[in-house]
Amino acid sequence: MHSNIASEIWGELKRFVNTVDRDEAADTLVSVLIDNDEDPEDIKLAFKGDSDIKRALTAYMDQGHDESAEDEDYEDADYDDSDDENY
């Protein structure tokens, strides 16, 4: 629902954002939507014709995916099998 409203607002305001600043503006918009629990698939559907938002969403998801993989690696490294022997 928020994605559809954001898409309309973006469509109206995008022309007022300098071309060189649009990538950063799109990144910010995607971040705000994700931070407010908007589903990435809903964002993708609402902004299906906008290349700036598509690029920003892809970059955001790639970044988030890499961080979660790093977190898993860290958790695995923290685990020590020898602790189980005491129980």
| Residue-level pLDDT, tens digit, the chain, 87 residues | 689 999 999 999 999 999 999 999 999 999 999 999 999 999 999 999 999 999 999 999 998 744 444 444 445 455 455 555 554
pLDDT for res 37: 93
pLDDT for res 81: 53
**Domain extent for 54:** 2-77
Using CB atoms within 10 Å of the CB of residue 44, give its burial: 0 to 12 exposed, 13 to 18 middle, 19+ buried: middle
pLDDT for res 69: 44
Q: Would residue 8 count as lying in a domain?
A: yes
**Is the CA virtual torsion 1, 5, 41, 64 positive or negative?**
negative
- Domains of the chain: total: 1
Take residue 9 and report the two structure tokens written for it. 């607002």
Q: Would residue 58 count as lying in a domain?
A: yes
Q: Would residue 82 count as lying in a domain?
A: no
Q: Would residue 29 count as lying in a domain?
A: yes
pLDDT for res 65: 46
- pTM for the model stands at 0.70
Taking Cα atoms as reference points, which of 57, 37, 62 lies closest to residue 45? 57
Q: Would residue 86 count as lying in a domain?
A: no
